[in-house]
Structure 1
Amino acid sequence: MSADWYPGIKAFCTHWRHAPMLQQTFETLEREFADENDACIDAAKGFVECACRLLIQELDDPLNPIDKWPDSPIRNAHPSFNNWVSAAFRLLAIVERRDDPFSKVISQHYNLTEVLGKFRDVAGTVSHGKEGLSKKLSAHHRRSALLAADAIVTFLHEAYLEREPDPVRTFEPYERFEASNAIIDEFATLRAELDEESLIRAVVVLPDGEEVPLAIETSRLLFGVDREAYKLVLNACREAKAAAPQDAEVA
């Protein structure tokens, strides 16, 4: 078995490396896959569901959440695997409605992943202890499950990368907004000064001359922008505090 069978899953994990539950699910998938265990079929299915839930959390509109839509796939209290996949594809506008022809293609991928899990449950009893046949069937099933899961995740990931997330709600890092960052840096200017309360009073000047005022503590700016600078400044300030004369204690 080859790790080349799931490049889409690996690419998705690399992009969302800051998502701990996704990474934990991926570690389980890789471990079971490497050990050639049938559990990798369930792990593949679990990874697809985890990926879908992550994207739904990232893309869902809090003012019009998908679980409140009249025809939402996840209106029920306990959505199924297929429900989560359908919801993710709906939010990404890969399929617009239930009778979209493309949805039939997608459904075959996640139906395969669903059915293989059930097939795995009975494969052992069907083989009746014939180890050669059992292992051959199991390897085929594992490969099919991973290929199906990888196809679904690849569809989702490629569609997601074509969109730019909402910067107010996103879990994505600053680097995800490279094009938008470049536009802001080119057309907006910034001036700043420290006020009497040790807050940095900054004003962003827009292209039309309108101003957007901001206020932030020096420590917060350093912590958010440059942790090494934060540590350097902290050490210098600690030394300054230690060297400063102490007020006499009141008797």
Structure 2
Amino acid sequence: MSIDWCPGIREACGYWRDAPMLQQTFEAMERNLEQNNDACIDCAKTVVEVVCRVVVESFHTQQAPLKLTEETPSLSNWLTAAIRALKLGDVRDDRFKKLVSSHHKLADALNDLRNKAGPASHGKDPYLARLAEHHRRSAVLAADAIVAFLPQAYLDAQLDPISSREPWERFAADNALIDAHVGLAVDAEDGDTPTLRFLLPSGDEIPINIEVSRLLYLLDRDAYVEALNAARGAPAPAAEIVEGQGESA
């Protein structure tokens, strides 16, 4: 077996490249698949759990808490939380509900298979008899079916820009709307922190005071370094005369 058996997992791990635990598990899964090692069952289960965690954390807020509070939540618990985060339970179509239910059953079956047979699971020793090839295949395909289902629903969901960890590109439609209707002006007085004034279509403004260095650091590190190098070679600004003190006689 190889990672080609699970395109859904490969695609999800490629999308969430900034999730370190997911990337580590994906690498372990790929290695164990190539070696036909039963530990791929553990990896498959963990991939599903981590993907569910990523989805839940993307929608969790203090006003609408979604993170699990159980000490040792099951894989089915995580899947339930992810489905709740994506609001898939709100869909009234009976056929779609059956699809969601089938993924719950897949999660339970994968968890049971992992707990019973995975040589690395729950501290079990690797002396257990190796599983047949079709058992490993079943675990990987079940995991891939679940993972392929969740990211697609995630991409279709409406995220909250305030709490989301997604990059700016994820909100392309919203970005285009803002760019088309909101203007920008800059007030920069000597010695004062520049003020960015965002001009709303209603005539109101959103003023934001921000240091030039902070703006460069947040937006473009290369530009920050270039500006820093240029500033190092610039002459020092003339000292201001302190009020109440004249020039020396």
TM-score by length of 1: 0.82
Cα distance in 1, alignment partners of residues 191 and 33 from structure 2: 58
Q: Quote the sequence identity (%).
A: 42
Instruction: Give the match for residue 143 of structure 2.
Output: 149
Instruction: Give the match for residue 230 of structure 1.
Output: 224
> Which structure has more helix as a fraction of its residues?
1
Structure 1, unmatched stretches of 5+, are 68-73, 128-133, 247-251
How much does 1:167 deviate?
Answer: 0.9
Residues 41, 114 of structure 2: 8 Å contact kept: yes
Cα distance in 2, alignment partners of residues 106 and 6 from structure 1: 16
Instruction: Give the match for residue 131 of structure 1.
Output: none
Change in 2 beyond 3 A, CA 1:190/1:245: closer
Change in 2 beyond 3 A, CA 1:193/1:228: same
Q: Which moved more, 1:228-237 or 1:137-146?
A: 137-146
Which of residues 186, 193, 202 is equivalent to 1:192? 186
How much does 1:197 deviate?
Answer: 3.8
Alignment of 1:35-184 (within 5 A): 35-66=35-66, 74-96=68-90, 100-121=97-118, 137-184=131-178
Whichever residue aligns with residue 59 of structure 1, its letter is F
How much does 1:118 deviate?
Answer: 3.7
Structure 2, unmatched stretches of 5+, are 120-125, 240-249
The CA RMSD measured in Å over matched residues stands at 2.5
Q: Which moved more, 1:110-119 or 1:158-167?
A: 110-119
1:15-46: CA deviation from partner (whole Å, max 9, x where unpaired): 11111122112111112122211001001101
- 1:62 counterpart SS class: coil
Instruction: Find runs of 4+ consecutive structure 1 residues off by over 6 angstroms.
Output: 243-246
TM-score by length of 2: 0.83
Cα distance in 2, alignment partners of residues 201 and 84 from structure 1: 45
Which of residues 211, 225, 238 is equivalent to 1:217? 211
Tell me, yes or no, if structure 1 residue 15 matches structure 2 residue 12.
Answer: no
Change in 2 beyond 3 A, CA 1:25/1:197: farther
The alignment of Structure 1 onto Structure 2 pairs a total of residues equal to 229
Whichever residue aligns with residue 220 of structure 1, its letter is R
How much does 1:225 deviate?
Answer: 1.7
Whichever residue aligns with residue 110 of structure 2, its letter is T
